[in-house]
Structure formats: structure tokens, C-alpha cells
Amino acid sequence: MQRLNYILLILFSSFSFSAFSQTTCREDLGKAIELYNGGLFEQTIQLLEDKMKSCKYRGSEKTQAYKYLAAAHYEIDNIEQADRLTYRFLKKEPLYEAQTTDPVLFSEALSKFERYPSLTIGFTVGSAIIKPIIIKRYTIWDKADYTQEYILSNSTLFQVDLSKNIFKYLNLNFGISTTKFSYSRKIPFSDTTYLYFDERFSELKFPIELSSSFKVFKKFYTTIYTGVFYTRARNLDGYFNQSVLSNINNELLNIEFKTDNYRNVDNVGVSLGLAIDYRLDRFTFSLKANNSMNLLPFTKKEIGVSAPYEFQMYYTDDLFHFKTTTYTFGLKYTFFYKIKAKY
């Protein structure tokens, strides 16, 4: 029992001493600010340098100590040391904006430094609108209407980005995204016969982009993106549905079968995008519109049955590019900031 009381006494004494020390440190910080406001800059420097070694300032107290220590050095024209202190302050508080209560010289010194997001990771979700640009049509039957457009489904896109600042406002972005889409086409042969084709793909995209951001208003920025990408689209499934007029009883018949020729389609392309960003501390909320186009032609194969009982095969190949427009919403988090002196 006596040992327990002894331990509790030691813990209570330690806690009381820590609380007393912290109170004293807070009082000394207030005294240093009074010395600064009274024009006693040397004494301010001496007191703050001593207390920043012995006191464990945190949060707003640490911010205050750095500000007034740097400002005091500016007041006595010790510019080099003051700049070092301001730089160290911004490394800890990269998003700090000057307050009306800050020392004037410290507020002015903040404009001497530029701050850029150095390493950022982002998560994006949005809608992809895909449109084929036909290069060449191959026709087999003269009566068939091969001018019918492809119908593509709008797809949901998911993307992860990593952004690294390489020079001032210029960033290098790497990403990986996935989306699923399908396209179909109905080719009339006559008033009563047609061929319907549908194919679904899952696409994996690896974009590499350069981006540059500019401040528009307060915490709003605009960002321009340009880059290249590599994609791999994998065929998930496809099927044909052909409506034909029976040669026996003159009835309209439907023939449907799935394809077994699964395939991967590799491609490269270019992209251009524009985003509006809102930066809140280390988080960035982004709305982005992006246009991209595959550079290599995509071959689309159609295989069908010419009559319900003959099973005679035919095919057509269309060459086209995919043009994709995406509208996305993203959330980014900046891990590190780069602080550089303007001059």
C-alpha cells in the first residue's frame, strides 16, 4: 500500500511540474511578444531562443514563437537568419496565410517564398463518354446499310493519380484508371432483316501527364493537363443477333449466338484536360473535363449468319479511333510541399 502511494505521489508530482512548466512557458511567450511590441528586439530574440530550446511549444504557441523570433531578426536587419526562420516556419506550416495580427515584417517576408504541392495522391470517379471516329468501312453486301452509327454506352471511370512537382508550377502526373464500356450496331439488310452486334470491353489506362496550376481567386485554382497514355482493352463478351426471313414458311426468325474469340486490344493516345480546383489545407477538391483520342486504329470484327439453315459465315472489318470525353470529380491529398525563395 505504501509503495502504491509512493508511485501515485511521484506521478502527481510529475504531472504538476509539467503543468507548471507549461504555464511558465506560455507566460514567457506572452512576455516575449510584449518585449517585441515595446521595441526591445534583442531581448525578444534572447528570450525566445532560450524558451524554444527548453519549452515544448505546440500548435498556435509554436507558430507565435517562430513568427516573433523571425520578425525580431528582421527588425535588427539580420535578414539571413530571419529568412531561415521563416523558411523553417513555412516547412511546418506550408499553407499559412498572413494574419492582420502578425508582425508586419514577418507578413511581408511570407511573400518572398513560393510554395508548391510537392507530392500529391488523388482518387477520381466520373463518367466517360466514348465516341468512335470511323477511318474506313469494309462492306460485304451491297444491300446492307453499313452507314449505321455505333452506339456506345457511357461508362463509370475510377482513377488513382500520383503527382510530383518538377519545376515551380509544373507537375508530372502518373495514373491508372479502369472503365467498362460496350458498343453495338444494327445493320439493316432489308425491311425485315438485320444484323445486331454487341461487344463489351474492360479498359485499363495508364496516363502520364504534365499539369500546371494557376491561382484564380482565393483558394480556387485552374489546372491545365496534357499528356499521353497507354491502354489495354480486354473483350469481356460479345454476341450477334440476326433477324432473317425464313425460306420455308416466310416467318421472321432470330438467330443469336455468343462469340468465343476473346481478345486484348493495346493502344496509345494523347489527352488534353482542364480542371477547377479548390484547396482546403492539404486537401484539394477537383472538377475535371478531359478529352483523349487513341492514335492507333481499332479493328472491329463482325461475324454473322447469312441464312437460318445454311450457316454461311461472313465478316466485316471497320477501322476507327476512340475519342473519349470524361467528366470527373477528384479528391487529392498533398503529403509534402516545396518551399523556394523567389530571389
Residue 31 has pLDDT above 50, yes or no: yes
| pLDDT category of residue 211 using cuts at 50, 70 and 90 | very high
Task: Classify 116-341 by CATH class.
Answer: mainly beta
**What pLDDT sits at residue 141?**
54
Half-sphere exposure for 235 (CA within 13 Å, toward CB): 17
Query: Mind giving me the DSSP string for 110-172?
Result: HTTEEEEEEEEEEEEEEEEEEEEEEEEE----TTS-TTPPPEE--EEEEEEEEEEEEETTEEE
Lowest-pLDDT choice from 62-71, 193-202, 213-222, 276-285: 193-202
* pLDDT surpassing 50 at residue 177: yes
| 85: confidence class by pLDDT, cuts 50, 70, 90 | very high
Answer yes or no: are the C-beta atoms of 286 and 277 closer than 8 Å.
Answer: yes
**Torsion angles phi and psi, residue 201, rounded to 5:** -130, 150
Q: Averaged over 82-87, what is the pLDDT?
A: 92
- pLDDT score for 236: 66
Tell me the average pLDDT of the chain.
Answer: 78
Q: Span 199-215, mean pLDDT?
A: 90
pTM above 0.85, yes or no: no
Count of C-beta atoms within a 10 Å radius of residue 23: 10
Specify the pLDDT at position 343.
Answer: 62
Which residues share a beta bridge with 114? 340
Note the pLDDT of residue 136.
62
| Res 303 pLDDT > 70 | no
Per-residue pLDDT at 296? 81
Which percentage of the chain shows pLDDT scores above 70? Answer: 71
Measured distance CA(33)–CA(39) in Å, rounded: 10
Q: Say if residues 274 and 224 touch (Cβ distance below 8 Å).
A: yes
* Mean pLDDT on 90-115: 89
| pLDDT above 90: residue 250 | no
Confidence of residue 251 (pLDDT cuts 50, 70, 90): low
Q: Tell me if residue 308 falls in helix, strand or coil.
A: coil
Q: What band does 294 get if pLDDT is binned at 50, 70 and 90? A: confident
Mean per-residue pLDDT, 309-338: 72
Neighbours of 246 (CB within 10 A): 12
Q: What pLDDT, on a 0 to 100 scale, did the predictor assign at position 145? A: 62
Residue 227: all three cell numbers together: 499528356
Domain boundaries, the chain: 2-111, 116-341
Sign, CA dihedral 97-99-102-103, equals: positive
Are 2-111 and 116-341 equal in CATH topology?
Answer: no
Kindly tell me the number of DSSP H helices and DSSP E strands found in the chain.
5, 11
Task: Rank 39-43, 232-236, 320-324 by mean pLDDT and report only the highest.
Answer: 39-43
Nearest to residue 130, comparing CAs of 300, 275, 301? 300
Among 107-116, 191-200, 317-326, the minimum mean pLDDT is found in 191-200
Return the CATH number of 2-111, one of 1.10.10.10, 1.20.1260.10, 1.10.287.610, 1.25.40.10. Answer: 1.25.40.10
- What's the mean pLDDT in 11-35? 65
Q: Which residue has the higher pLDDT, 318 or 206?
A: 206
- Sign (positive/negative) of CA torsion 90, 91, 95, 101? negative
**Would you state the pLDDT for residue 184?**
76
The whole-number pLDDT of residue 243 equals 54
User: How does pLDDT run across 108-160, given as a tens digit for each residue?
Assistant: 999 889 888 899 999 999 998 887 777 666 555 555 566 677 777 778 899 99
According to the per-residue pLDDT averaged within each range, which of 188-197, 268-277, 291-300 is highest? 268-277
Confidence (pLDDT) at 11 = 45
Give pLDDT, residue 277.
Answer: 97
Higher per-residue confidence, 184 vs 336: 336
